[in-house]
Structure 1
Amino acid sequence: MAFIRVALYLHVPFCIKKCPYCDFYSLPHVPSSEEEKTYLKAVKTEVLYLKDFVEKLSGTALNITTFYAGGGTPSLLSPGFYQEFFEFLSSQFRFTPVELTLEANPDTITPEKLKGFVEAGFNRLSLGVQSLSEKGLKTLQRTYNLKTALKALENASSLFSNLSVDFIFGWKGQGLKTLKEEIKKALSFSPTHLSFYELTLEHEVSFSGFSPNKPVDLFYRFIEDTLESQGYVRYEISNYAKPGFECKHNLFYWEVKPYVGLGPSAVSRITNLRWQNPQDLKAYVETLLNQKKLPLTPLETLNPLEFAKEYVFMGLRLKKGIDLRTLSAKFGYYLDPWVLTNLIEKGLIERKGNRVSLTSQGRLFHNQVVKLLWKTMEKA
């Protein structure tokens, strides 16, 4: 049987506290050792059912190239959970990941626990500090203080040669001076990767830390100029990396390659079929352990236009952009030359041969540019 290279994601839905701006499925609950064992049993069961499902669906077996534990707060689970899970994956698939990432919060890790995660197999840590300002941490309602965040960075940088640091910017009261100090503190630990996400509220949420009138373009330009002067490349709208340290797992999503998700709310796509698990931990476990079936719902078939739209949306998040030949040959669609010329004249995109990418200015208007290009594809 042929193999298909995929990125494997595990969603861990547990958190110490639900953050007011978070739109990911999570529960404010620290699992007991028994609950951890039950969750591991459910995830293993999903793997068994999924293996059979994918092989029948595509006629291929999975070659897991990257692994990413996200959440939620994956570092709430023990290193033993992951070690046992990785051994199980190795028994079921061609499990040869070049990158194994663990998301962690500063107040859920100790030097001993970090060593355990390294011994389990993780070679990349994504530390969600979100802010390195005491005021920022309080505004974002984080569960730790600046001292804890800095200590976590110190411990993580001593054990992981591939360390990513996540920030949220644009919170109420943050100015460029504060942002500059936060970046300076982060860079003192020599991370290989940094992510900066603008604070946005996906739904109507009462959150006093949200400031809708922030000059977002100034923040983006300041972050980009500061990090690029230090040797980081803005390879994706929100992500910066030292050359060679781009997140290989996330590139599977941005380059529209196949991926598989495990756990409640996780999404998968193999070929043109996409499905999602229920956003309900109890229903997820019940379906797997008692009903003895996959919890996927719904099963969606992407038509060529939807697939092409996804390629344009995801690809234009990347510095390298999209390839017009790929869009035409693989997906059967093209972009109106007149519209491309118009966007070039407005300084929003640039074109080099068959490759189209957003300019620094264009990245501020990613969604608007994409929607305009989608309209040309729909007419085509």
Structure 2
Amino acid sequence: MDTLEQPDLTRYAALLPDTGEPGFGVYVHWPFCAAKCPYCDFNSHVRHQPVDQERFTAAFLKEMATVRQMSGPKTVTSVFLGGGTPSLMNPATVSAILDGIAKHWHVPDGIEITMEANPSSVEAERFRGYRAAGVNRVSLGVQALNDRDLKFLGRLHNVADALKAIKLARDIFPRMSFDLIYARPNQTVDEWERELKEAISYAVDHLSLYQLTIEEGTPFYGLHKAGKLIVPDGDQSALLYEATQEITAREGLPAYEVSNHARPGAESRHNLTYWRYGDYAGIGPGAHGRLTRGGMKIATATERKPESWLDLVECHGHGILDQEQLGYEEQADELLLMGLRLKEGVDLARWQQLSGRDPDPKREEFLLEHGFIERIGNSRLRCTPSGMLILDSVVADLAC
């Protein structure tokens, strides 16, 4: 396949730079998809009749008003329209949602506003409509660069559709990312290296590269349990991961998080808010949020089923089913869980303030001696590349 002409990378400098602060994000969940992928356990739903977008838009705006009362005045540092498939929304729906966010919170010019899109639902006019509404970053669910594996993954697009979508996104939006899934059945390191190098030739400034995971409740889970779907074992997965890190670093897209790679300065601001343990408002069916109120952090979760969420919002002003006040120890654990995913690591002073203690000296020394973690001066702690391979174990050890 022909390599796309490389764009002017100074285009993304127009967005506000990363300050290093956690920030405050707004996440809006559009729960509808054209088809349900067999590996997906996200809150996504297929509807065979047209969705009443005006009614859902009104509900999004109504829930925003309630969440604004909970959050108080905030300056938004990023907006993320996720799903589901947000690119099934009409541009007018996106415009109304972004206008609503600007009505309820302060939204400075130049913040990152991301929309997820599937290549099968991409049209040039629709993309231009999203750009006119204010979207300045698009994240495409490409997932594979060969038609055989796209079919296996249940995707509705083929490679030609993906390349068309990538080109449109590069032409229309200041920033663009796309996702790939690797560690697929029978995938060799050589095959993945070739596919990854091809992907990098199409990328502008960001790639999200996820290993295929088998999630309970998905069709892939049943096939895997029955022995009909075999994924790479731990050793093979580690080799694939190591190849990913080596190639992306060499090509100027180093990992800044376990599965995310960017040219310096082009990291996803919204996802950094999650990983730096900032606050974020969760709007829409199945959305989660973290809001600090009165010095305490509140975890929110909304009704997952779209129609049930819609009824709740229209009756009560929101679809929030769960509000949990997180204790300081819980916040410290979440900070550690999220922050150790990042190459920049965790702010130790912040963790100590929340947990009320220092890391256990024996556990820290063990992890340091085995090369799983390292100190960055006296202020930060991070996982090494070896530690990233056993991240869950490292977090569990340090959290004890």
Same-fold status (TM-score > 0.5): yes
Say which of 49, 57, 74 aligns to 2:66.
Answer: 49
Contact 2:276 2:335 in 1 (8 A): yes
CA distance in 2, matches of 1:129, 1:280: 26
With CA pairs under 8 Å and 6+ residues apart, which has the higher RCO, 1 or 2? 2
1:249 aligns with 2:270: yes
CA shift at 1:350, angstroms? 1.2
* Helix, strand or coil at the partner of 2:308: helix
Question: Match of 1:299, as an amino acid?
Answer: Q
Say which of 111, 121, 139 aligns to 1:126.
Answer: 139
Closer, same or farther in 2 for the Cα pair 1:282/1:168, shift >3 Å? same
* Equivalent residue number for residue 270 of structure 1: 291
* Equivalent residue number for residue 391 of structure 2: 366
CA distance in 1, matches of 2:93, 2:306: 17
* Equivalent residue number for residue 351 of structure 2: 327
Contact 2:85 2:116 in 1 (8 A): yes
Question: What are the equivalent positions in structure 2 for 1:276-355 lying under 5 Å apart?
Answer: 276-289=301-314, 291-354=315-378, 355=380
CA shift at 1:83, angstroms? 1.1
Closer, same or farther in 2 for the Cα pair 1:136/1:63, shift >3 Å? same
RMSD: 1.7
Contact 2:186 2:232 in 1 (8 A): no
Question: Match of 2:298, as an amino acid?
Answer: L
Contact 1:115 1:159 in 2 (8 A): yes
Closer, same or farther in 2 for the Cα pair 1:132/1:276, shift >3 Å? same
Closer, same or farther in 2 for the Cα pair 1:210/1:163, shift >3 Å? farther
1:218 aligns with 2:239: yes
What 5-or-longer segments of structure 2 have no aligned partner?
Answer: 1-21
Closer, same or farther in 2 for the Cα pair 1:30/1:13, shift >3 Å? farther
CA shift at 1:164, angstroms? 0.7
Closer, same or farther in 2 for the Cα pair 1:278/1:210, shift >3 Å? farther
* 1:43-86 Cα shifts (integer Å, max 9, x gaps): 011112222233xxxxx312222100011110011111111222
**Percent of pairs identical after alignment?**
34
Contact 1:140 1:171 in 2 (8 A): no
* Helix, strand or coil at the partner of 2:207: strand
Question: What are the equivalent positions in structure 2 for 1:185-204 lying under 5 Å apart?
Answer: 185-203=198-216
1:107 aligns with 2:124: no
* Equivalent residue number for residue 17 of structure 1: 35
Question: What are the equivalent positions in structure 2 for 1:157-176 lying under 5 Å apart?
Answer: 157-176=170-189
CA distance in 1, matches of 2:334, 2:260: 19
Contact 1:139 1:172 in 2 (8 A): no
CA shift at 1:209, angstroms? 5.0
* Equivalent residue number for residue 35 of structure 1: 52
CA shift at 1:88, angstroms? 2.6
1:141 aligns with 2:165: no
* Equivalent residue number for residue 19 of structure 2: none
CA shift at 1:5, angstroms? 5.1
CA shift at 1:210, angstroms? 4.9
Question: What are the equivalent positions in structure 2 for 1:144-155 lying under 5 Å apart?
Answer: 144-155=157-168
CA distance in 2, matches of 1:295, 1:35: 17
CA distance in 1, matches of 2:126, 2:156: 19
* Helix, strand or coil at the partner of 2:390: helix
* 1:196-243 Cα shifts (integer Å, max 9, x gaps): 111112215224555152611111111111111111121100100000
CA shift at 1:92, angstroms? 2.6
1:180 aligns with 2:198: no
Closer, same or farther in 2 for the Cα pair 1:339/1:178, shift >3 Å? same
What 5-or-longer segments of structure 1 have no aligned partner?
Answer: 55-59, 376-380
With 78-87 and 64-73 compared, the bigger mean Cα shift is at: 78-87
* 1:321-367 Cα shifts (integer Å, max 9, x gaps): 11222211344232112211111111111123322111111100000
After TM superposition, what 4+ stretches of structure 1 lie above 4 angstroms from structure 2? none
TM-score of the two chains, using structure 1 as the length reference: 0.92
* Equivalent residue number for residue 240 of structure 1: 261
Contact 1:101 1:125 in 2 (8 A): yes
Say which of 93, 106, 122 aligns to 1:81.
Answer: 93
TM-score of the two chains, using structure 2 as the length reference: 0.87
Question: Match of 1:341, as an amino acid?
Answer: E
CA distance in 2, matches of 1:362, 1:192: 26
* Equivalent residue number for residue 206 of structure 1: 222
Say which of 126, 129, 133 aligns to 1:116.
Answer: 129
With 325-334 and 237-246 compared, the bigger mean Cα shift is at: 325-334
* 1:253-293 Cα shifts (integer Å, max 9, x gaps): 1011111110011011112111100111111100111x233
CA shift at 1:29, angstroms? 2.4
1:229 aligns with 2:250: yes
Instruction: Count matched residues.
Output: 365
